[in-house]
Amino acid sequence: MEKSKTGFQTKVLAEIIVFAALSAVLYVFRPFTLPFGGSITLGSMVPVVWLSLRRGVYAGVIAGAIFGILAFFIDVMLVGASNVIATPIQAVLEYPVAFGVLGLAGIFKKESVASAISGLSLAAFVRFLIHYFVGVYVWYNVYAFPPEWGQYLWPAIYNGSFLAVEFIISAILIAILVKKGTLKYAF
Q: Say what the pLDDT of residue 26 is.
A: 96
Q: What is the pLDDT of residues 156-176, one digit of tens each?
A: 888 999 999 999 999 999 999
CA–CA–CA angle 128, 154, 122 (5° rounding): 15
Residue ranges of domains in the chain: 10-184
pLDDT band at 34 (very low <50, low <70, confident <90, very high): confident
Domain 10-184, CATH: 1.10.1760.20
Give the helix/strand (H/E) hosting 33. strand 32-33
| Max CA separation in the chain (angstroms) | 59
Q: How deeply is 144 buried, as exposed, middle or buried, from its count of CB atoms within 10 A (0-12, 13-18, 19+)? A: exposed
Q: What is the pLDDT of residues 41-68, one digit of tens each?
A: 999 999 999 999 999 999 999 999 999 9
Query: pTM (2 decimals)?
Result: 0.88
Q: Say what the pLDDT of residue 21 is.
A: 97
